[in-house]
Chain A
Amino acid sequence: MEGIWMTAAFYLLAAIILGSALLVVLLKNIVHSVLWLAVCFVAMAGLFLTLDADFLAAVQVLVYAGAVCIMVVFGIMLIQRGDMGSTNLFNNQTKAAAGVVALVLAVCGYLAATTPWASPAAAVPENTVESIAEIMLSKYVIPFEVAAILLLVALVGAIFLAKEVKADARND
């Protein structure tokens, strides 16, 4: 997978990512949006492969395309039942939002284009999982543990928030 193939893969994946992302935003049916979100995430996993991040690509598929999308779909099902035809509309500050986005793009694009990036010093090692595990469990062990606790807290919090409130407690 060298040269022209890499280029082709990048453009193809980029087109899929941007196209599906646009569909996520533009579609009026929220369920369709989530579907295209999953497509976007999978394409992203492909993009990670082109960046020599195979472990990350696997995680992307597992967490995003698998867990997050399914969770969002469950969320939609808990809230909106019946007609999903126009559940995902724009509000009335679309133009202002477009302006801000244009500004952000202009600034980011300009910065990305004009910054003199350093050229790669070496190739990425083959075995990424081992390398990531090494720094994650040595130098970055504390953030790792914190992330674990964060997940636990998020789990408890989500349960608490989404739990049915008792009738007498709501009268306060």
Chain B
Amino acid sequence: MVEFAMHHAWLVPLLPALAFLAIVFFTRPWPMLSALVAVAGIVGSFIVSALAAYGVFTNPAFKEEPLVYAVRWFSMPGLQIDVGVQLDPVSAMMIFMVSMVASLIFIYAIGYMKGDPGFSVFFSYVSLFAASMLLLAISSNLLEMFVAWELVGLCSYLLIGFYSHKISAREAAKKAFITCRIADFGLLLGLLSLQIVFGTLNLVELSEKIAHFEQYTTLAVLSLIAVLVFIGPIGKSGQFPLHVWLPDAMEGPTPVSALIHAATMVVAGVYLVARTMFLFHEVPNAMELVAITGGFTALFAATIAVTQREIKRILAYSTVSQIGYMMLALGVGSMTASLFHMWTHAFFKALMFLGAGSVLHALHHKADVWEMGGLIKKMPITGWTFVIGGLAIAGIPPFAGFWSKDEILAMTLESGHYVLFVMAAFTAFLTAFYMWRLIFLTFFGDENPENHPHESPAVMTLPLIGLAILSTVGGLVGTPWAPYWSEWIFFGHPHHGEPNYWVMIGSIVLAAAGIYLAYQLYCVDKARAKVKALAERYNHIYTILYNKYYIDEIYLWFNHTIIDGAAKLFYLFDIYVVDGVIVNGLGALTCLFGEGLRVSNTGRLQNYALVFFLGVLAVVVLLAFTGPSAASLIVGGVK
């Protein structure tokens, strides 16, 4: 079984793709059947993934040599592109994680989407997404990965705009697609440059060639390529300054937010950088860029999340912040810590999104956290699983988030990025604070009499429980005392950091402080007078944070002023210069010549004869007074 799964790993993306086709062409009129087909596809994919992952993680040979099955996609002089699957610890972990989370979310969606007119369509989209995401994870070739990368972008667009009757959903879908496309252009340029410089996009070959990049190019060119490649992840993973689409993407159905915009697609950027670590590793400046982008985004998004009111929006900024952590870890050179955080984050963030979906389901899509409260009494399963998620993201041991976040902090400190370390630590505090603010406001405190919540059906709560368990134990694979994770997922050589107890204790203290502060402000103080006083006192900061640093407004201003201004300029240029001077000018010039030549066109035979004789004379002179070469021009070929 394990052998079969490993040698047929291409089944992993294929099964959801088949489910997609089956739903589109056959089962669309029957919603429940469509859902079953989709779930069957992803669960089958999960089983294959799990078996393959078992095979990989029991054979240490895979640490050195990945298992690649590839066929020639197309071939032309100077360009051969292979397409195939590559199994190594990283991709095995990724397909396992993606298919597992996706399976749970698919099941959850059966309950959440019940009664929606687009039920079948929804499942066809998410199946296509799962297929694309798994293909992205298992690709052996960067071009293949890019195709999958664009496909997940397309699915993201389709699913954000799923409620296409809502204008905001349509706008958000367009925003997401366009923003990601801008970033993907950078990635495309980077990939083209790689192909041009190194002549291949195969991951294995590329890693071997880039290790000796001096034979092919200079460090400056390689740095440029690395930065171009990194632009793609900036967009896809919602890093500053292209993060603007991710919070708006919450217009999509909540399972989509959980699957695409929390657990899988948005971490594709992290995964891509991890896959091309051999490139970034050679370019210290690009690594610094990744680290600074990640660290800054983490803090930046966390501060915004503190003041937001919509439940999914808070989670969205939290996602941006956590992906910032992952980028930071990549930038300081620890792929291990980065992917570990990606692994744990997938569980607890999917859990929290699904919990939020459950809440929205119960409250009929009332999203403002200020209008909730005390929900834990009516919705115990949702509430307590959400609390587990909150503990995990805040970094309270032994929940999953603690181990990964702790490792990131430790690695940042160890690599000597002290400023980034302080930023990351402060972000940890903020994370605990805003997440528990959300929890206290939503699940504790007084009940809002206008709400009539009810617990969600089992099909929705079971995945919550499953994810809650994973959020609890998922981090135990990589504790500092039992570092199974770092033995398998690494770049270069496995790195076993000594348990840094100061960092550990410090992060626990910060998390606890954040939770305590949230408790004081939002749970104990029922009237919320202190909160209001704080907001009043730091009015400016509050306004800026509440308006997300006005990034959207700045972009809007930029578009309206600079782009539209330039467009206006070009419009005028077109009207007056292109149309006026060039087009009409050419016409006028032709008319002018015509008028001039009209004078010569007398119609009188003798005029013409006169000119004709002048011409004859010229030919005679030419023939008589110049050499044979000039004469041959006229009479054509003189021997």
A and B touch in the complex (CB under 8 A): yes
A96:B610 contact, CB within 8 angstroms: yes
Shortest beta-carbon distance from A105 to chain B in Å: 11
B617:A97 contact, CB within 8 angstroms: no
- Chain A residues lying within 8 Å of B621, measured Cβ to Cβ, are 107
Residue A131, interface by CB 8 Å: no
A104:B613 contact, CB within 8 angstroms: yes
Contact of B617 among A91, A96, A100 (CB under 8 A): A100
B606:A100 contact, CB within 8 angstroms: no
- Chain A residues lying within 8 Å of B624, measured Cβ to Cβ, are 107, 111
A93:B610 contact, CB within 8 angstroms: yes
B610:A100 contact, CB within 8 angstroms: yes
Closest to A101 in B: B613
- Separation of A111 and B621 alpha carbons in the complex (Å): 10
Residue A152, interface by CB 8 Å: no
- Separation of A152 and B614 alpha carbons in the complex (Å): 34
- Chain B residues lying within 8 Å of A104, measured Cβ to Cβ, are 613, 617
- Separation of A107 and B625 alpha carbons in the complex (Å): 10
A93:B620 contact, CB within 8 angstroms: no
Shortest beta-carbon distance from A98 to chain B in Å: 11
Mark contacts of B583-614 with chain A using CB atoms, 8 A cut-off: 1 yes-contact digit, 0 otherwise: 00000000000000000000000110010011
B607:A93 contact, CB within 8 angstroms: yes
Mark contacts of A104-129 with chain B using CB atoms, 8 A cut-off: 1 yes-contact digit, 0 otherwise: 10010001000000000000000000
- Chain A residues lying within 8 Å of B610, measured Cβ to Cβ, are 93, 96-97, 100
A-B residue pair count with CB separations less than 8 angstroms = 20
Shortest beta-carbon distance from A101 to chain B in Å: 9
- Chain B residues lying within 8 Å of A100, measured Cβ to Cβ, are 610, 613-614, 617
Shortest beta-carbon distance from B101 to chain A in Å: 92
Closest to A111 in B: B624
Shortest beta-carbon distance from A89 to chain B in Å: 13
Residue A103, interface by CB 8 Å: yes
- Separation of A97 and B613 alpha carbons in the complex (Å): 10
- Chain B residues lying within 8 Å of A103, measured Cβ to Cβ, are 614, 617
- Separation of A109 and B416 alpha carbons in the complex (Å): 100
A107:B620 contact, CB within 8 angstroms: yes
- Separation of A91 and B604 alpha carbons in the complex (Å): 11
- Separation of A91 and B607 alpha carbons in the complex (Å): 11
Closest to B624 in A: A111
Contact of B606 among A91, A107, A111 (CB under 8 A): A91
* Chain A interface main SS type: helix
- Chain A residues lying within 8 Å of B606, measured Cβ to Cβ, are 91, 93, 97
- Separation of A111 and B623 alpha carbons in the complex (Å): 11
- Separation of A104 and B617 alpha carbons in the complex (Å): 7
Closest to A108 in B: B620
Shortest beta-carbon distance from B380 to chain A in Å: 107
- Separation of A168 and B610 alpha carbons in the complex (Å): 39
- Separation of A91 and B620 alpha carbons in the complex (Å): 27
- Separation of A100 and B615 alpha carbons in the complex (Å): 10
- Chain B residues lying within 8 Å of A107, measured Cβ to Cβ, are 617, 620-621, 624
Shortest beta-carbon distance from A25 to chain B in Å: 14
| Docked complex: A66-110 residues within 8 A CB-CB of B | 91, 93, 96-97, 100, 103-104, 107
- Separation of A97 and B604 alpha carbons in the complex (Å): 14
Shortest beta-carbon distance from A68 to chain B in Å: 21
Mark contacts of B620-636 with chain A using CB atoms, 8 A cut-off: 1 yes-contact digit, 0 otherwise: 11001000000000000
- Separation of A137 and B607 alpha carbons in the complex (Å): 42
| Docked complex: B273-326 residues within 8 A CB-CB of A | none
- Chain B residues lying within 8 Å of A111, measured Cβ to Cβ, are 624
- Separation of A132 and B617 alpha carbons in the complex (Å): 33
Closest to B607 in A: A93
- Chain B residues lying within 8 Å of A93, measured Cβ to Cβ, are 606-607, 610
- Separation of A100 and B618 alpha carbons in the complex (Å): 11
Shortest beta-carbon distance from B609 to chain A in Å: 9
- Separation of A39 and B607 alpha carbons in the complex (Å): 30
Mark contacts of A35-67 with chain B using CB atoms, 8 A cut-off: 1 yes-contact digit, 0 otherwise: 000000000000000000000000000000000
- Separation of A100 and B620 alpha carbons in the complex (Å): 14
- Separation of A122 and B610 alpha carbons in the complex (Å): 41
Shortest beta-carbon distance from B308 to chain A in Å: 91
- Chain A residues lying within 8 Å of B607, measured Cβ to Cβ, are 93
- Separation of A164 and B617 alpha carbons in the complex (Å): 41
Shortest beta-carbon distance from A76 to chain B in Å: 20
Shortest beta-carbon distance from A96 to chain B in Å: 6
- Separation of A107 and B610 alpha carbons in the complex (Å): 16
- Chain B residues lying within 8 Å of A96, measured Cβ to Cβ, are 610
- Separation of A96 and B609 alpha carbons in the complex (Å): 11
- Separation of A120 and B442 alpha carbons in the complex (Å): 127
Closest to B602 in A: A93
- Separation of A97 and B611 alpha carbons in the complex (Å): 10
- Separation of A56 and B389 alpha carbons in the complex (Å): 125
- Separation of A164 and B607 alpha carbons in the complex (Å): 31
Shortest beta-carbon distance from B421 to chain A in Å: 96
- Separation of A111 and B614 alpha carbons in the complex (Å): 17
Closest to A97 in B: B610
| Docked complex: B490-529 residues within 8 A CB-CB of A | none
Shortest beta-carbon distance from A106 to chain B in Å: 10
- Separation of A46 and B226 alpha carbons in the complex (Å): 100
- Chain A residues lying within 8 Å of B614, measured Cβ to Cβ, are 100, 103
Closest to B614 in A: A100
- Chain A residues lying within 8 Å of B613, measured Cβ to Cβ, are 100, 104
Closest to B613 in A: A100
Shortest beta-carbon distance from A91 to chain B in Å: 7
- Separation of A160 and B426 alpha carbons in the complex (Å): 112
Choose among A91, A100, A103, A111 the residue with the greatest number of B CB atoms under 10 Å from its CB: A100
- Separation of A100 and B607 alpha carbons in the complex (Å): 12
- Separation of A168 and B25 alpha carbons in the complex (Å): 79
| Docked complex: A152-170 residues within 8 A CB-CB of B | none
Closest to A115 in B: B624
Shortest beta-carbon distance from B483 to chain A in Å: 104
- Separation of A107 and B621 alpha carbons in the complex (Å): 7
- Separation of A82 and B78 alpha carbons in the complex (Å): 92
| Docked complex: B213-237 residues within 8 A CB-CB of A | none
- Separation of A69 and B610 alpha carbons in the complex (Å): 26
Shortest beta-carbon distance from A95 to chain B in Å: 11
- Separation of A136 and B337 alpha carbons in the complex (Å): 110
- Separation of A107 and B620 alpha carbons in the complex (Å): 8
- Separation of A91 and B606 alpha carbons in the complex (Å): 9
- Separation of A36 and B620 alpha carbons in the complex (Å): 31
Shortest beta-carbon distance from A92 to chain B in Å: 10
| Docked complex: B435-490 residues within 8 A CB-CB of A | none
Closest to A106 in B: B617
Shortest beta-carbon distance from B636 to chain A in Å: 22
Shortest beta-carbon distance from B457 to chain A in Å: 96
- Separation of A97 and B617 alpha carbons in the complex (Å): 13
- Separation of A93 and B611 alpha carbons in the complex (Å): 12
With A93-B606, A104-B613 already in contact, 6 other A-B pairs whose C-beta atoms are closer than 8 Å? A93-B607, A100-B610, A100-B614, A100-B617, A103-B617, A107-B620
The 9 closest A-B pairs by CB, nearest first: A100-B613, A103-B617, A100-B610, A111-B624, A96-B610, A100-B614, A107-B620, A104-B617, A107-B621
Q: What would 20 A/B residue contacts be, using CB atoms closer than 8 Å? A: A91-B606, A93-B606, A93-B607, A93-B610, A96-B610, A97-B606, A97-B610, A100-B610, A100-B613, A100-B614, A100-B617, A103-B614, A103-B617, A104-B613, A104-B617, A107-B617, A107-B620, A107-B621, A107-B624, A111-B624
